[in-house]
A and B are shown apart, each in its own frame.
Chain A
Amino acid sequence: MNASVIIFYIISAFILGAALFAVTTRKIFRAAIFLLFSLIGIAALYFWMQVEFVAAVQIIIYVGGIVVLIIFSIFLTQKSGNEMPKPLRTRAIFSGLAVIFGFAFTSNLIREYGFKEISTQPFEVKVSDIGTQMLSTAEHGFVLPFEVVSILLLAAMIGCIVIAMKVKHEEK
């Protein structure tokens, strides 16, 4: 047990504990805060895996963007101090059973599969490499998905404005 292994277990316990509280707590604002902690833990896991760029993107977009958006929407639609009703007992039991079965099945698959890891090559993600490959038009470039995603973001932005816009009724 060296330090890296211990840090990995601490990060995993943090992520899973925060996620578990986020889906079971009955106060919606607390759920959002636990979701925030879980996302921060996932960013820490990316740092642990030495992909700093993805970790930074995770913090900027999820922690700084999506969670803030969710908290704003909670304030706009809910009384955040109220407790949500408990889920029906049968529904909780059956979804718990389904989830436990699925987890057991999938983890059994993962354990039996036997991944062949390549540990000879070091894995380093340089931001300059990411930028070059993202905008390259050569064979392994990602410029087409990049442009498609930019169109998608524009469409999502306009769609949000159109959907959430207040319709003025002309009553005179």
Chain B
Amino acid sequence: MNEITITHILFVSTALFFIGMYGLFTRRNMITMLMAVELILNSVNINFVAFNKYLYPGKLDGVFFAIFVITIAAAEAAVAIAIIINLYRSHHSIDVGDASELKY
């Protein structure tokens, strides 16, 4: 209790991951689902940095992984929002239930 160990930080990131998972399961709106995905990616980043700090303090690999994950998340968000805007233009809705042409 007197010192924060890696286990505490991993608990926080696990909780954040599953909160994002809950959002991904319950939301039907594409933008809010994208927000849930961002939360999940952030929890992964916390894990990378925490492992680097507490288990391998002499190296920097976890920091690099975190930076690359942030970069790819930015690209992913941009592409997802472009797809959402295009879908809204053709369907006038961004509910995942309304975009079912590719389903069958």
Chain A residues at the B interface, C-beta cutoff of 8 Å:
1-2, 4-5, 8, 12, 15-16, 19-20, 22-24, 28, 31-32, 35, 38-39, 42, 45-46, 49-51, 53-54, 57-58, 61-62, 65-66, 69-70, 73-74, 76-78, 84-85, 87, 91-92, 95-96, 98-100, 102-103, 106-107, 110-111, 115-118, 121-123, 125, 129-130, 133-134, 140, 142, 145, 149, 152-153, 156-157, 159-161, 163-164, 166
Q: Which of B1, B20, B28, B55 contacts A115 (CB 8 A)?
A: B55
Assess whether A51 is in contact with B63, with CB atoms less than 8 Å apart.
yes
Q: How far is the CA of A16 from the CA of B64 in the complex (A)?
A: 25
| Beta-carbon contacts under 8 Å, B1-59 to A | 1-12, 14-23, 25-29, 31-32, 34-36, 38-39, 42, 45-46, 49-50, 52-58
Q: How far is the CA of A166 from the CA of B83 in the complex (A)?
A: 12
Does B81 interact with chain A (Cβ within 8 Å)? yes
Chain B nearest Cβ from A30, distance in angstroms: 11
Q: How far is the CA of A20 from the CA of B16 in the complex (A)?
A: 8
Assess whether B11 is in contact with A107, with CB atoms less than 8 Å apart.
yes
Chain A nearest Cβ from B99, distance in angstroms: 13
Residues from chain A with Cβ under 8 Å of B45 in the complex: 42, 54, 58
- What interface size band does chain B fall in? 35 or more
Does B71 interact with chain A (Cβ within 8 Å)? yes
Residues from chain A with Cβ under 8 Å of B88 in the complex: 76-77
Does B85 interact with chain A (Cβ within 8 Å)? yes
Residues from chain B with Cβ under 8 Å of A66 in the complex: 38, 73-74, 77
Q: How far is the CA of A2 from the CA of B49 in the complex (A)?
A: 23
Residues from chain B with Cβ under 8 Å of A74 in the complex: 31
| A99 and B18 in contact, given A5-B4, A66-B77, A73-B81 (Cβ under 8 angstroms) | yes
Assess whether B53 is in contact with A98, with CB atoms less than 8 Å apart.
no
| A99 and B68 in contact, given A76-B85, A87-B27, A125-B60 (Cβ under 8 angstroms) | no
| A35 and B70 in contact, given A157-B78, A163-B79 (Cβ under 8 angstroms) | no
Q: How far is the CA of A125 from the CA of B49 in the complex (A)?
A: 11
Assess whether B78 is in contact with A121, with CB atoms less than 8 Å apart.
no
Residues from chain A with Cβ under 8 Å of B53 in the complex: 49-51, 123
Chain A nearest Cβ from B101, distance in angstroms: 16
Q: How far is the CA of A84 from the CA of B60 in the complex (A)?
A: 43
Assess whether B25 is in contact with A117, with CB atoms less than 8 Å apart.
no
Assess whether A32 is in contact with B8, with CB atoms less than 8 Å apart.
no
